[in-house]
Structure 1
């Protein structure tokens, strides 16, 4: 009877885990696409060293001394000891690290030394913020974007300001002046 129960339990476990064969709750990643276990998605915690790459992380993604790379992330990216984050499609949550490079759409906050983003519905807080798309809030020594709602820093530049720029030098193609000190807004 015990063997029958054990067989039933193990069969159930393998059936459930087999249904989610491409996901894992914990992963370690490193160079040359090394992922242990070899899965495409993490729902839990992933730690990468030097360079880790996986399709999707839902949860906590920690990079140590290098870069963590995903297509999609929902949760928190943390770069430790010169760690950074790269997201090629979408990020929902918060990214902390030496650098954040996000090519797609972000919903949340990016806090680092350098943020290179595309579209951000949330905040970029960094020494340098560079965005090829639209941003809601950029705070940093230098913030450059195609369009932004609010920019606060020493040097702010955008093609289209939708709200206000506050800083030492504020440049916006649609500003009440193309470049103006202290404050600039759309004309």
Structure 2
């Protein structure tokens, strides 16, 4: 317990080091309502943790119970519902949504991306442009060798 208190105190005292627009730690209740170190910011370089959170950019980990939303993710995202327009990293959500590209992996029951360079693993996987592999019960790829496949689909 003392170690945790010392760590939190050190983070708070070091907040001037993180001056600028990005934050190193964000504790979110819902959406953009949050407590962040050094201030409530939409650009996270570190950890975004909460019940549901939204940020403009996350470089690090976005870990939430209900939903995680960001425009740009470089790292890991995990929640029941995860939405990131541009992903470089991994999404571990029950439902993964991306209106842009995913470079990396999506793991969940339903995975959806506009463009995928990597892997989708889930029950239903959907992508418009794929350069990679889909593994699941139903795999939909707009530019795949076959548009709809069971078990495995992909294009390299």
Q: How many residues align?
A: 134
Name the TM-score, length of structure 2 as normaliser. 0.75
User: Cα offset for 1:133?
Assistant: 2.2
2:76 counterpart of 1:94: yes
CA positional deviation for 1:180: 4.8
Alpha-carbon contact 2:139-2:153 (below 8 Å) kept:
no
The aligned counterpart of 2:16 is 17
Q: Which runs of 5+ in 1 are unaligned?
A: 1-12, 23-39, 162-174
Find the partner of 2:114 among 128, 132, 151. 132
SS of the counterpart of 1:160? coil
CA contact (8 A) 1:135 1:145 kept: no
Moved over 6 A (4+): none
2:48 is the counterpart of 1:61: yes
Q: Give the distance between the partners of 1:125 and 1:93, measured in 2 at CA.
A: 14
Q: Residues 180 and 140 (structure 1 numbering): CA distance in 2 closer, same or farther, change over 3 Å?
A: closer
- Structure 1 residues 182, 124: closer, same or farther in 2, change over 3 A? closer
| Correspondence 1:151 to 2:134 | yes
Instruction: Find 2:89's aligned residue among 98, 102, 108.
Output: 108
Q: 1:180 to 1:139 in 2, by over 3 A?
A: closer
Question: For the residues of structure 2 that align with 1:19 and 1:129, how far apart are their CA atoms?
Answer: 35
Choose between structure 1 and 2 for higher RCO, CA contacts under 8 A separated by at least 6 residues.
2
5+ long unaligned stretches in structure 2: 1-12, 34-40
Equivalent residue number for residue 64 of structure 2: 79
The CA RMSD measured in Å over matched residues stands at 2.6
Q: TM-score, normalised by structure 1?
A: 0.63
Q: Which residue of 1 aligns with 2:7?
A: none
Instruction: Tell me if structure 2 keeps the 8 A contact 1:146–1:159.
Output: yes
Distance in structure 2 (CA, Å) of the matches to 1:19 and 1:92: 19
